[in-house]
Structure 1
């Protein structure tokens, strides 16, 4: 099981951990993606001059999106996310296990909190090579419907900024032509700030919660304990880093509706958001993010516990 138990060189096999991370990512994204789309739209919306908002709440956003775009509209951007979530989750979960393994000076003793945080933060830093372009493309797709509605409300004949038919491939190609590889890494600093901080909180908290639960005869945790530990640790870390997620989402939203501010880096985004909307803006979509992250990591840890890859590869 990830993060718990005693590891030896014979037990630490990298390939099944990578496969488990990929399986966990695909299952998790497929389950929670509509909520992730709602979170993105809530974080990007800015009140108009009269204080009017396109979406008044998470449920209002969900209802309006479904009514305007249908069931498939709730999964805009899911293809690129499902494609890249496999390497992303594989890197995150496997890197954490790898760093924990090499930071452990004595396999018979648990890691200190500082070393657990170092392993988790290092894992978060490793994943951003995949996370940044994945999130950048996903956000453009997820936010397209909000931009269309906001633009139509602002100016009857205004040009729609993103076509509903835009694909992640065409967006990636356009960014590559304009800015090269760096075009796909807009918002890297904010992504690192979010993911490193998240992992520093999540992995040690998960390990401690999981160790509190019942154990099987071989010392491994029961699956429901791993699931609940993943949910609690994930939702706690998610709400803690939500301000960084809001900043990242806004920096990566390349197109804006008329009247929406543009940002020149993390500090500029923080300053303008505080001036225009106050500190509460940094917790937009917070409830959605908690609901998204809790099952995502609960599922991830359960897949790790079940050892799906090990069974498929006949390593158990």
Structure 2
């Protein structure tokens, strides 16, 4: 009598981590990242807005801000930054997981590099429009203010800042710089998700869904390496985004009319390298930030996989 054939993968599909769990893991990683790296983000913003060469570099900028405004000034905008990162990573990780499901091969469950790139780009565009742009507008407006005395500041906090922008510039004022933000985030996430998976496989022989959980330091190495390419490629978009978000439309005319006009103006007035202003603090913030986020997120998803997937009967 012939033996019954063994069930194949299509009859017993491998259980995968649901998108909502990846979203939760990303949000936890975002909270930890924001708390650790906010000072670098403040310095990056100040350098990008510096047209008169007040700051001589990263260290000089940090010392100047601490000396003239107090150490607490290096954590300006932390509340919107932490909230922004928490929501951004939840949306990024969750939407990327959903999009990857759509691009997976129906027979094998595998996803191509093209599918990873498109999933990452789609997740980046979504996060840029829904979360990143309005939160960064508020964050940058708060960070560019000098001093800590509330009576001398135009914006008293994130909620007050958002209300002032809406009252003076309309609701679309919260989406200033949306175009370069979409380009920056879409490109960044397309590269980051693809590179993270590639480094996991190359360095640690870790394949998605294989049941293994990387050590935190391994996840951090992969995350750090995956986070390095984006800032170099998207530097001009980030500078333009910051300039567009920082300018207020309440006074009538604005210096930069849009993304292309801003690129041309900065190039004409300040030179080509000005389009990469703040690159070093970005490299000091983004790769370590990705290292921290992935170090936390991989542990959260790994715990879920060990607890609820491997122990569950197929």
Q: In structure 2, what is the Cα distance between the partners aligned to 1:309 and 1:86?
A: 19
Select the residue among 177, 182, 193 that pairs with 1:203.
193
1:182, CA displacement in angstroms?
1.3
Equivalences for residues 223-302 of structure 1 within 5 A: 223-255=216-248, 262-302=255-295
Q: Report the CA distance between 1:304 and its aligned residue.
A: 2.1
Residue 136 of structure 1 corresponds to: 137
- Offset of 1:10 from its aligned partner? 3.6
Mapped to 2, the partners of 1:103 and 1:65 lie a distance apart of 47
Name structure 1 gaps, 5 residues minimum. 1-7, 48-52, 149-161
- Unmatched 5+ residue regions in structure 2? 1-12, 310-314
TM-score, normalising length: structure 2: 0.84
The aligned runs of 1:207-226 (5 Å cut-off) are 207-215=197-205, 218-226=211-219
- For residues 164 and 57 of structure 2, what CA distance do their matches in structure 1 show? 33
Q: Is the 8 A contact 1:16 1:310 kept in 2?
A: no
RMSD value, Cα: 2.7
TM-score, length-scaled by structure 1: 0.83
Select between 178-187 and 96-105 the one with higher mean Cα deviation. Answer: 178-187
Give how far 1:84 is off.
Answer: 2.5
- Computing the radius of gyration from Cα coordinates, the structure with the larger value is 2
Larger mean Cα displacement after TM superposition, 212-221 or 183-192: 212-221
Structure 2 equivalent of residue 67 of structure 1: 67
Q: How does 1:1-316 map to 2 (within 5 A)?
A: 10-47=15-52, 53-106=53-106, 108=108, 110-128=110-128, 129-145=130-146, 163=153, 166-215=156-205, 218-255=211-248, 262-307=255-300, 315=308
1:311 is displaced (CA, Å) by 5.1
Q: Which string of whole-angstrom CA distances, capped at 9 and with x for unpartnered residues, describes residues 102-143 of structure 1?
A: 211157464222111101100101101100011000001111
Identify the residue that residue 8 of structure 2 maps to in structure 1. none
Rounded to whole Å, the distance in 2 between the matches of 1:131 and 1:173 is 17
Q: How many residues align?
A: 288
Q: Is the contact made by 2:28 and 2:296 (CA closer than 8 Å) also made in structure 1?
A: yes
